[in-house]
Amino acid sequence: MIRSDYLIIGSGIAGLSLALKASKNGSVSLVTKKKLFDSATGKAQGGIACITDESDSFEAHIRDTIVSGAGLCNEKMVEKMVAEGPERVRELISLGVEFTKKKDSDLEFELALEGGHSKRRILHAGDITGNEIERVLIRNIEKHKSITVYEYHTAIDLILDKDRICRGVYVFDNENNNTEIFEAKVTVLTCGGAGKTYLYTSNPDVATGDAVAMAYRAGADIANMEFVQFHPTCLYNSAVKSFLISEAVRGEGAVLKLRDGGSFVEKYSSQKELAPRDIVARAIDSELKSRGEKFVYLDITAKNKDFLMKRFPNIYAKCLEYGIDISKDMIPVVPAAHFFCGGVVIDENGRTSIENLYAAGETACSGVHGANRLASNSLLEGVVYADRVYKDSFQFLGKEYSEIDVKPIDDTKPSVNKSNVFVQKKEELRRLTWDYLGISRSNEGLLKAQKKTDILKIEIEQYFKEVPFTLDGIELRNMMFIAEMIVRSAIQRKESRGLHFNTDYPFLLPDVKDTVINIR
């Protein structure tokens, strides 16, 4: 049994920044499924939304967030996140994060504009902002002896005592193929989202919804899983798995076009390319389906090569690898699953409905995103709620808990190779979510998805009981539970709001509610 004061599952901006702070007060076990750097944060291109300019205001940022959230944001939570943002960003800068400065200035930041924002307020590090933040946080993590990092370790299930207090997590050591028990006074879920549950996604391979699925199985409240944000512009190329074309490209004037060169987004919103993501993604999806085409184009050729190479060096270089010179050529793009606005329900301090269990980042449903996330609010949310969890967790460190009789998981099952079956079932599940739980849904499709997930659940749970643990098996099980949660939440919502569009209910209801579900 591995004991520590803090057990943090996940190594994105929320997990890493929390680990740094928690290490001041106790021992920290940081568990991550692959390398520390493998997270959605590391792939984030755009930046972090924060008020740093005198011409901007907290009120404007709050308003933009609430408008994007389509009436479902928790205003109190939004206000706290926006107000605490500048201090959290200053902390990142003090750790060594280098955001891009204005030309010939050592003091003023170059601020980007993205969809849904009324002002330029996005701090960025070129077009690899998440990469820069991860690099700096990991460098600082490595300096702390009180933080023990467990790479290539995958969380399996939460450990609850007889009073339903979270006491730790069962963890699978991917490299040595054995299970371990991690016990802690404070357990925090920061595993990111579940984009890999879908066939097409901007997310890294690790994003299989592990934390949300574990919390769901343990009986925690889960909310708003129907709100899956599809980023409008993922590079369409069979050789590329999940490369995003940042929303900041549209912020700098890129125009969406059809294959015949005609524009179309103005038919769906007066904000055109800078409309919130749900509107732009639906516009593209609608045009593709009506025309029977596989992609649209993003055109930034009005900008010169020098500007593009300086502002978007990563995107420019990656596209060039595949024969696309974005200063001359239009970029083929398609929507892809990107961000979950729902997740494990938390309060203003990151507490879940299970005692001693916290959640932060994309794993959590804090209420700040509502029915649709405003661009570049995700990194902000992660760092703000990591700080809130840290400050709230002090009270649990001095508590004395009774000894728990935790039995190791019996993994002495016959060594049957099911790897091909797991891969096949993953693809079947991802196709199911893409076909029935995508950008546009229907009652008929949701009921079909429910029947299919019910059948898959029985099959997958049986496999899980019969064969030894493997990473593919654990991920498949979690992805299946994510699909089940999306279906349950989507069936509950008898309207179309934000990221959830049901062709049978193409209207808003006046009574706005979260769709809270649990397994109890």
Sign of CA dihedral 259, 260, 263, 265: negative
CB within 8 Å of 365: residues ≥ 6 apart: 222, 223, 224, 341, 342, 343, 344, 345, 346, 514
Give me the pLDDT at residue 411, please.
62
* 139 noted as active-site residue: no
Closest CA to 267 of 259, 252, 277, 256: 256
List the Cα angle 434/299/46 in 5-degree steps: 65
Per-residue pLDDT of the chain (520 residues; tens, 9 = 90+): 899 999 999 999 999 999 999 999 999 999 999 999 999 999 898 899 999 999 999 999 999 999 999 999 999 999 999 999 999 999 999 999 999 999 877 789 999 999 899 999 999 999 999 999 999 999 999 999 999 999 999 999 999 999 999 999 999 999 999 999 999 999 999 999 999 999 989 999 999 999 999 999 999 999 999 999 999 999 998 888 779 999 899 999 999 999 999 999 999 999 999 998 889 999 999 999 899 999 999 999 999 999 999 999 999 999 999 999 999 999 999 999 999 999 999 999 999 999 999 999 999 999 999 999 999 999 999 999 999 999 999 988 888 877 887 877 766 666 666 668 888 999 999 999 999 999 999 999 999 999 999 999 999 998 888 888 899 999 999 999 999 999 999 999 999 999 999 999 999 999 999 999 999 7
48-49 β-sheet, strand order: 48-49, 122-123, 111-112
The label of the residue with tokens 């200063």 reads: 327
β 122-123/48-49 pair status: antiparallel
Q: Which residues are CB-neighbours of 272 under 8 A, at least 6 positions away? A: 265, 266
Residues 6 or more apart from 416 whose CB is under 8 A from it?
466, 467, 468
Kindly give the pairing relationship between strand 343-345 and strand 228-235. unpaired
Helix 378-397 with 13-22: angle, nearest 10 deg: 30
Give the residue among 296, 230, 117, 207 at the shortest CA–CA distance from 498. 230
Strands (E), 348-396: 357-359, 364-365
Strand partners, 8: 30, 188
Two structure tokens written together for 246: 């940042």
Helices and strands (DSSP H and E) totals, the chain: 14, 18
Contacts of 326 (CB under 8 A, 6+ apart): 300, 301, 308, 312, 315, 316, 319, 320
Res 299: pLDDT: 97
Region of 74 on the Ramachandran plot (φ > 0 left; ψ -120 to 50 alpha; else beta)? beta
Give the separation between CA 40 and CA 45, rounded to whole angstroms: 10
Contact at 8 Å (CB) between 297 and 330?
yes
Query: According to the model, what pLDDT value does residue 326 have?
Result: 97
The secondary structure of residue 274, as a DSSP letter, is G
What single-letter DSSP state applies at residue 101?
B
Separation between Cα atoms, residue 97 and residue 302, nearest integer Å: 31
The one catalytic residue among 121, 167, 277, 497? 277
List the structure tokens of 361: 């980042």
Measured distance CA(201)–CA(98) in Å, rounded: 28
Tell me the pairing of strands 178-189 and 166-173: antiparallel
The reported pLDDT for the residue numbered 415 is 63
pLDDT at 132: 97
**Are 221 and 518 within 8 A, CB to CB?**
yes
Handedness of CA 331, 336, 341, 344 (dihedral sign): negative
What structural domains and CATH numbers belong to the chain? 2-226+341-396 (3.50.50.60), 232-336 (3.90.700.10)
Q: What is the three-class DSSP state of 340?
A: strand
Q: Do residues 134 and 37 make contact, with C-beta atoms less than 8 angstroms apart? A: yes
The percent helix, strand, coil of the chain (3-state, each to 5) is 40, 20, 45
Distance CA 22, CA 142 (A): 14
Residue 401 is classified by DSSP as -
Total number of residues shown for the chain = 520
Q: Which of 57, 156, 51 shows the shortest CA–CA distance to 411?
A: 156
Instruction: Count the Cβ atoms, other than its own, within 10 Å of residue 30.
Output: 28
